[in-house]
Every structure is written in structure tokens, then in C-alpha cells.
Amino acid sequence: MSKFEVKVRAILSLEPHPNADKLEFALIEGYRTLVKKAGDLVAYIPEAAVLPEWILKSLGLWNVEENKGVCGGELGNRVRAVKLRGAISQGIAYPLNFLKFHPFDLGWFIRDKDMALWPVREDEDVAAVLGITKHFPQVPAELAGAVMPVGRHLFPAFDLEDIKKYPTIIQEGELVFITEKLHGLLTGVVLLPEKDAVDGKRFFVFGKGLGQDGLAFIDDAANKDNVYLKMAHKFNLESKLHLLADKLNETERPVFMIGETFGIGVQDLGYGEKPTYRAFALGVGYRSREVYFDYLTALSHAADMDIQWVPELYRGPFSTAMLAKIIIGKETLTGRGVHIREGGVVEPQVPREDLQIGRVALKAISPEYLVRSGHTTEFQ
């Protein structure tokens, strides 16, 4: 599950900005962020972070005349990817201090809003010390709705980490599948075994945040305009999960499907279509013990249920250079290239687990998507 963190990280290398002599890129994990000078360790502030006023001022990111920050969002306090002189920078490298003499011991320290020094070590999360939080956009009414508790253990906590955060997990030359990442709303559905029914109900619909908290939308007249429930009804997802459970002879564990609801009015990229749905994951099991079907098996099950899958972009040996080319360009879903592609999702052809992230499947976001202009949305 993707987690918001402001980690103390080592700068892996420095690269010159192609169009600015006094700027350099610091490579942190797999991200490149602009710096004027570099130390050995920094606190890496990722995209979607909301910065307090004192940090904006200390980093020179404050507009005195407008009395607001110069980053993204209405208040100019949200970290976004930016293109500066033709090169993309992601996140902010917040400087640390190395002290040879201090009552605590020699080492790296970070200053909080009161200028107090805190000793830190590599890989430590310092979001709380700096007062940095994650941005959560206000969700339109049709994307919200009344919810009910079902149980955290009954839903998969699905999310994808960015491949730039874990750049060494997928190996060069490893055989992979890459599917297109659509810009919409994660929409999950689950069919519980009879022994886990809640108020006599076994089928539930959830979004990303709701599923992680064990909540589901209430399927009643009050939620008739809810887009998640509309997709579940439109594609008969309850009956299709019953078909899958019967096919698998699965009566003891939850059966779930996760996909994307997208289209005009759902997010800023509408694909020129009315809201619709594509699946991208199928599995069985309780949280922390769930088992995802491998890509080809999932495709087969989806075909049997008459469920469309997200587009496939590539299958073959992985390389970083190849991935950089695949995730850019126009979307392939419509065949008309309506707008830019969000990116791709990479998973090994031979499924495997990793101690850091669990099931190996990582997202790769297009740089063009990161710096797109206009009224952009990232509803969850």
C-alpha cells in the first residue's frame, strides 16, 4: 500500500541541469529534484505534500506581495512536479545540518519550526517534525456518498507504489507486462463468503480510501447518484463476482475485483466517454492474506465474466529506457489519442513478492501527465 512519508534520504548522485549552469538535479531514490547545492542527506518532500508557511519561507518559496506560497494549489503550499527550463523536477530536497559538536552527538540534524534541532538518521520519516501533511482534494458530491463499516480485514488494501520510489525492485531484463494506467477512480467490489455477511449482505462497493478503512458505500436511494455504485450496477458486477466464485468453488474467502471508473466528469482527463469501467486486478482472500491472480489468469477470468481489462502496452524484457518511452504519448484506450497518457503499471510475468512492498506491481507516471496544466484533479 502506498504510504505518504517525508523520508531522510541520501542523494545518490548529482546531475547538471541541461539548461541552467547554477542548478543541479539531485537523484533521490528514482526521483530528480532541483538543488542549488547538495549535502549527503536531505529530507525528501514528495508531491502532494502540503507545506507549512515557515517551510515555504525558509526555502524561498513565499510570495510576499501575495502573502502565499509559490507552489501548487490555491494557497501555493502544495508540492507538485514542475518543468523548469525544459526539465522536470519532482519533490523538494529539504536541507539537513551535519554537526560535529552537539550535546546529542555528532551527526545529521533537522530544524523544526522553532529552529530546534532534531537528530535524524537515514530512512527516518520526519513529516511530523516538519508539520508536513498530505493533500486530500475535496471530493464532488457524485463521487462521495453515505458509507457503512464492513470490516478492514474483509477488503484488500490495494494501492501502487511509484517505481521511482523503489527503482531497483524490477530488474533490468526481467520479463514484465505493462498495462496503461487510466486516470479515474479506483473502484473495488468484493463478494464475501456467507459466514462474513453484514446485515445479510455479501456484495460491497468501495473506493481506495474507503476500502483501506473497511468502509463501503450504502447501496440505497440516497446514494443513487454515486458513480461507484452506478458502475457496479451498469456492469452487473455482483452477479459477475458470483460467477467467478462459483467457477473457483470459493466459499470460504472473499472474492474481489479492482478497476478504474473513468470518463467525462470523473477526473480532468475524460477520455471523451461517458463514465465507464475497466478492471485491472482480481483476487481472493482476506487482507494481508489476499492472493492476486497473475496477469494472464486474471485476463482469462475477466473474459469469462465479460469484463474489459485496462489496455496492455507491452510484454517482454524490462529496461528503464524502454519504460521511459512506453509511458509517454497519448492514451491508447479509445484508439483516438484523446489526450495524454497517465502512465503505466509494471508487473513481472512471473509473480513475486518483495519484503518492502509485498506483491510486486509498480506504477510509472508520465512526465507530461505530472506537469499538465489547467484544472487538474486527483480525486480518490
The domain segmentation of the chain, as residue ranges, is 7-134, 141-370
In the structure grid, which three cell numbers stand for residue 211, read together?
476500502
| Residue that the C-alpha cell 471530493 belongs to | 139
With beta carbons less than 8 A apart as the criterion, state whether 206 and 266 touch: no
In the structure grid, which three cell numbers stand for residue 131, read together?
508539520
Sheet of 13-17: strand order equals 13-17, 20-28, 31-35
Sheet of 7-10: strand order equals 7-10, 41-45, 92-95
CATH 3.30.470.30 fits 141-370, yes or no: yes
Rounded to whole angstroms, what are the CA distances from 184 to 111, 145, 312, 328?
A: 39, 17, 17, 18
Predicted structure pTM score: 0.83
| Residue that the C-alpha cell 443513487 belongs to | 224
3-state secondary structure of 151: coil
Per-position pLDDT tens, the chain of length 380:
467 898 998 887 777 766 655 567 777 888 878 665 555 788 999 988 999 999 999 888 899 999 999 888 889 999 988 887 677 888 888 888 877 766 656 788 888 899 888 889 899 999 999 999 998 776 666 677 899 999 999 999 888 999 999 999 999 999 999 999 999 999 999 999 999 999 999 999 999 889 999 999 999 999 999 999 999 999 999 999 999 999 999 999 999 999 999 999 998 999 998 999 999 999 999 999 999 999 999 999 999 999 999 999 999 999 999 999 999 999 999 999 999 999 999 999 999 999 999 999 999 999 899 888 777 877 67
Q: Where are the beta strands (DSSP E) in 196-254?
A: 203-206, 215-217
